[in-house]
């Protein structure tokens, strides 16, 4: 009941790439000609695409349009679901101690429109609050503020922001 020794396979001869392809001409690329053939354009990152969408997308309705024919709840939900999720990495929010002021660790303010409290950053609490300014009608900046409900340790920050 002994098994026969495994058959030895002949050693594979290493073949150089040029020999396999027949020529090395196809392996050379002239990068100087790439710009003439195809325009070189910048590639937008997913974050840039999302930011562009959030800045330009919208379906403003006038008071007259809302009174005349209000959108159905289904239409509103479909439009809402088209809004991309806000993914801010904690590295983008380089503020020491901000985690203790965030109700949810996965919901962070956008650095571009973040509300900064009036106090100096050098103070112990800093100027951080988890809140963002929102544009109003006609693109008017800083008309509204979206924020989380205050926690016991952020109530004073909340009222400072309000006043």
Q: Number of structural domains, the chain?
A: 2
pLDDT at residue number 37: 55
Least confident among 51-60, 105-114, 117-126: 117-126
Cα separation of 8 and 75, whole Å? 70
Tens digit of pLDDT for each residue in 71-82?
A: 788 988 888 888
Range of the domain at 125: 92-163
Cα separation of 65 and 11, whole Å? 79
Of 32, 144, 138, 151, whose CA–CA distance to 129 is shortest?
A: 151
Tens digit of pLDDT for each residue in 123-141?
A: 666 889 999 999 888 888 9
pLDDT at residue number 1: 57
Q: Is residue 18 part of a domain?
A: no
Phi, psi of 131 (to 5 degrees): -155, 150
Q: Is residue 81 part of a domain?
A: yes
- Do 67 and 98 sit in the same domain of this protein? no
Distance from the first to the final alpha carbon of the chain: 91
- Do 53 and 71 sit in the same domain of this protein? yes
Cβ-based neighbours of 157, under 8 Å, separated by 6 or more: 101, 117, 125, 128, 129, 150
Higher pLDDT: 21 or 108? It is 108
- Do 96 and 147 sit in the same domain of this protein? yes
Cα separation of 148 and 158, whole Å? 9
128 and 120 Cβ atoms separated by less than 8 Å: no
pLDDT bucket at 111, cuts 50 / 70 / 90: confident
Cα separation of 40 and 33, whole Å? 11
- Do 100 and 80 sit in the same domain of this protein? no
pLDDT bucket at 65, cuts 50 / 70 / 90: confident
Structure tokens at 150: 């205050």
Q: Is residue 34 part of a domain?
A: no
Mean pLDDT to the nearest integer, 31-60: 71
pLDDT at residue number 154: 93
Q: Is residue 32 part of a domain?
A: no
Angle, CA of 108, 111 and 112, to the nearest 5°: 135
- Do 125 and 81 sit in the same domain of this protein? no
108 and 93 Cβ atoms separated by less than 8 Å: yes
Averaged confidence pLDDT in the chain: 78
């Amino acid at each position: 009941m002994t098994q026969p020794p495994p058959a030895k396979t002949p050693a594979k001869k290493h073949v150089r790439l040029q020999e396999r392809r027949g020529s090395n001409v196809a392996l050379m690329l002239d990068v100087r000609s790439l710009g003439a053939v195809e325009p070189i354009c910048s590639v937008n990152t997913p974050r840039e695409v999302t930011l562009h969408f959030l800045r330009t997308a919208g379906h403003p309705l006038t008071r007259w349009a809302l009174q005349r024919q209000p959108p159905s709840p289904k239409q509103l939900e479909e439009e809402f679901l088209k809004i991309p999720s806000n993914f801010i990495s904690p590295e983008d929010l380089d503020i020491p101690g901000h985690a203790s002021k965030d109700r949810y660790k996965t919901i962070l303010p956008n650095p571009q429109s973040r509300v900064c409290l009036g106090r100096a950053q050098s103070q112990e609490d800093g100027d951080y609050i988890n809140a963002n300014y929102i544009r109003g009608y006609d693109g008017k900046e800083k008309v509204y503020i979206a924020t989380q409900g205050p926690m016991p340790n952020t109530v004073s920050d909340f009222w400072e922001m309000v006043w």
